[in-house]
Chains A and B, each alone.
Chain A
Amino acid sequence: MEHLRLGEFEEIVLLTVGILDGNAYGVAIKDEIEARLKREVSIGAMQTTLRRLEKKGFLESQHGDTQPNRGGRPKLYFRISSAGMQAIHYTRQTRNDLWNALPQWVLNT
């Protein structure tokens, strides 16, 4: 299942796209991550990640509407593809497996 593996930031971006469900374009994703995780997101890092995820087939994109404050440029909306869904499920599964394997006494200390 190697092809489903995600990096930490990839996972965050993918999940956020899912959270925004249909409204996920660049600025919205950035805002959402910054609001929920209280961490600064650079456009550069985010865009590279988005494009990488799209290239891997985890995201699908579609040009949308524009607004005057975007200088006439369209928004690019992202959606999780089925492969992307598999990937987050896979990630969650592997984490859960690990959590479950964690001995109780280690958690309590």
Chain B
Amino acid sequence: MKTPPPAPPPWILRFLKWFCKPAYHPDIEGDLLELYYRRLEKQSPSRARWRLFKEVIQLFRPGIIRSFAISPSINYKTMIVHTLTLTLRNFARHRATFLSNLLCLSLGLATTLLIYLWVFDAYQMDAFHQKGDRLYQVLENAPSPEGIQTYPFTPSPLAETLVEEFPEVEEAVSVLPYAWFEGEKFVLSHGDARYFVTRNQFASPAYFDLFSFPLIQGNPQEVLKNPQSVVISESLAEKLFNSQDVMGKTLSWIHPDFGGSYQVSGVFQDVPGQSTLQFDAVFPIQKYLSIKEDTLQWRDSDPYTYFTFKSGADREAFAAKIEGLLQEKLPERQGTFLIQKFQDRYLHNRFQNGKAEGGRIAYIHLFSLIALFILLIASVNFINLSTAQIGTRLKELGVKKAIGVARKHLILQYLIESMLLAFFALLLAGLWVFLFFPAFQNLTGKAIQIQFHARLMLGILGISIFTGLLSGAYPAFYLSGFTPLQALGGMKVIPFKKQFTRHGLVIFQFGISAVLLVFVMVVYQQMQLIQYKNLGYDKDRIVWFTLDRLEQDSGQPVRPARISEKKIEGFLQALKKTPGVENASNFFHNLVGGKYGTTTGMEWASKDPEQAVVFAGISGGYDFINTLQIQLKEGRSYSRAFKTDHQKIILNETAVQLMGLENPVGQTLTLWGENREIIGVVKDFHIDALYKEIPPTFIKLDTDDFSRNIMVRINSQEESQTLARIQEVYQEFFVAGLPAEIKYLDSSYQELYEQEIRVARLSRYAAGLALFISCIGLFGFATFHVKRRLKEVAIRKVLGSSTWALIRLLLRSFLSVVLIALLLALPLSYWLSSIWLDRFVFRIELNSLYFLGAAMSIMCLAILTVLYQTYRATQVEMIRYIHQNE
């Protein structure tokens, strides 16, 4: 059999149909097709097609082209005006539905918008560097007992080596960012006894060339050449010198290591909030390296190394090449190098097994997903409410169909209706965003800048158009498909399949709500655990601050010395005498967040010499244990009464257990080659975040400058006065005019879990919103459902059914839907919650109570939502509905 000849391209014929006078069109098209098929027998299809196209173009001439001024069949303008009028009237008639629809959609849109702003803002972090697409950072993977750890610290000769030995690299810099000094307080002054706490960093000369921090004064290539030069920010210049004309002026840095006078060689514009690198002053890294000469080798990893690729360089080949560079340079070093694009550092900030994995990006994904789901729930609502109105709208539809309105015009009408609603909702959403933006910023803990980029605007518009279309599509395509008979004949004809769809929508909504609710409860419980867990010490009412190694500025460059033990002791005694202070001690390590030292240098009698055991070591003053109220299990704490306590040691329970000591107190062990007698054992306490186990720990007595953090336990009365008094004492002992930065230990503790707290709060709002919207959806569903069954209810009532029995009957049909939703949602929420909890070693058990609780509350909420509708249904006038024929 012959294959049928290829049909002509339909678009050519469509074009002809579009412009040709309708009366002429059929036979002209017939002629064209006849010629086309005739040519196909002799010529190639492409040639025949081309001839056809040419002929159609030749037909595009006056005499054949139809009139476009007024369509002979439909008046579009009138139709659209008619549709708009109808739409607005429909809104006005069904005010309750309209308003709840508007509310749901606008809330859904506002949520999506806010989260979109947040996500967009997150992607803008560090995006302003002109060389950003070539700007990379070198990181170091180091093996450790807990697996590979990834650090940003790299050996200081690395930057130079990169430029010299690798042709792919254009420029490289070493930087010791402010964060590197772990909150050390840097003070700059200008000799007139005014001090400014600043964020100082050290950087290589090419710094301002590599990063786009524009210089107002100074040449980017030159400003960091001289070791005694400094580049400061615009606002620091203003503060220090009260002028912008500061080139060549000197300032002094008051610091035991880096102190001295520096000459201002440049001024940069204040660092924007969208930079992860934050600093007020940049010093030449040569200065640092000349003081810490031992860091000039491959042995240590200190500075951060950034570099730019030459354009066109093979980045992957380069990454492979430098992986083993560290061992090449120094075989005894175990680490390897990896590179990461600088701009990606903010979002991809977690590393597992030496590879970037998760981090902030995970939260971005989580909340984008939540936003999407809330938008979906809101859209589903619209669909539900629209179809719930089906009874009243069906007659309108039937009449329209009967008088011959084309299906596409009906579709258009429903789409216009939903687009219009989406547009109203967008306006309202704009208002919500405007109202809730400050609260939202608070919630995310980030100053989000609203920037109206074209992309953002398009995104917003796209989201609302998409929502409008999505919301309108279902009623538009479903309703318009009814035959006039079906539409006029009432709802009896709605097939089961459609009902199933609507149930599906409700199941979807409540499923999502249930998942969110369980998640919220689990997160909440875990946060409660974190807040109220007995840490083994009492973190409430403890404030802490760091002593400054500063002396009064005499106008000369100052290099403060270490603080003497006597001065610290004197200060502590003065504090203890201050009213409101219960106890005070000095200490070394940050008490929260696991920033303690670890060591394998502990030896004891029964130790397996092959085995390296890692101990955590903390140092503190005499009253360290008392002030924190760590429980003593055996023995005694450090005391001023004993002169030799500096050679003693206190262990925690875990350490004793690990060592297998029977009667630990009085026994001797060796720490770093020194014998120390165990004088006490304390109960376990958490010095790390709850993600981790409690390590075996020892507490060492340390009373000198090394432990110059001070903690003070205050009593609960007159807290602010007590703090002011502490401040007074502090300025008496140290520099007047430079107050201590007093922090509550509790809030430092909270900062550890900042992200979790944020997730807890955000998810709470998300779940609340989802539930609210779902309930409105269920309300609409109930309205619809009850209307359908009024006749049934009336008949049952006539036959003697009680109100209560009727309510039960009706409730059953809603609750079964909600129940299915719950059954589907609970396993999913279990899975999600366990993933989230997995990161905590100390975590709540997922017991069935959370799931039951969530299920019960959703059920109750659902019952409350539909109860009114249900009750009203049972109070119908029976006669009216029994007679009803629809």
Contact = CB atoms under 8 A, between A and B. Distances in A.
Interface string A63-105: 1001101111111100000000000000000000000000000
Given A43-B59, A47-B24, A73 B64 contact: no
B632 interface: no
Contacts of A45: 58
Contacts of A75: 27, 30-31
Contacts of B27: 25-26, 63, 73-76
Given A42-B55, A43-B58, A47-B24, A73 B30 contact: yes
Contact of A44 (B26, B37, B59): B59
A92 to B, nearest CB: 26
Contacts of A66: 30
B28 interface: yes
Interface string A18-45: 0000000111001000000000001111
Contacts of A71: 29-30, 33
Contact of B64 (A44, A74, A76): A44
B24 A70 contact: no
Contacts of B736: none
A2 to B, nearest CB: 21
Contacts, number: 70
Tell which of B33, B38, B60 has the most Cβ of chain A within 10 Å.
Answer: B33
B333 interface: no
Given A48-B63, A51-B64, A74 B30 contact: yes
B34 A70 contact: yes
B58 A42 contact: yes
A74 B31 CA distance: 9
Given A42-B55, A44-B55, A27 B29 contact: no
Contacts of A51: 24, 63-64
Nearest to A44: B58
B61 A73 contact: no
B26 to A, nearest CB: 5
A47 B33 contact: no
Contacts of B63: 47-48, 51-52
A30 B27 CA distance: 14
Contacts of A27: 31, 34-35, 38
B32 interface: yes
A48 B64 contact: yes
A34 to B, nearest CB: 11
B33 A43 contact: no
Contacts of A74: 26-27, 30
Contacts of B37: 69
B53 to A, nearest CB: 12
B32 to A, nearest CB: 7
Nearest to B60: A44
Nearest to B55: A43
Nearest to B40: A69
Contacts of B61: 44, 48
Interface string B20-52: 000010111111111101100000000000000
Contacts of B35: 27, 30, 43
B31 A43 contact: yes
Contact of B32 (A43, A48, A52, A63): A43
Contact of A73 (B29, B38, B59, B60): B29
A69 B33 contact: yes
A27 to B, nearest CB: 5
Nearest to B59: A44
Given A48-B61, A70-B33, 16 more contacts: A26-B27, A27-B35, A42-B55, A43-B28, A43-B55, A43-B58, A47-B59, A48-B62, A48-B63, A51-B64, A52-B63, A70-B34, A73-B33, A74-B26, A75-B27, A75-B31
14 contacts: A25-B27, A26-B27, A42-B58, A43-B55, A43-B58, A43-B59, A44-B59, A47-B59, A48-B62, A51-B24, A52-B63, A66-B30, A72-B30, A73-B33
Interface of A: 25-27, 30, 42-45, 47-48, 51-52, 63, 66-67, 69-76
9 smallest CB-CB distances across A and B, nearest first, come from A73-B30, A44-B58, A26-B31, A76-B27, A70-B30, A48-B63, A71-B33, A69-B37, A44-B59
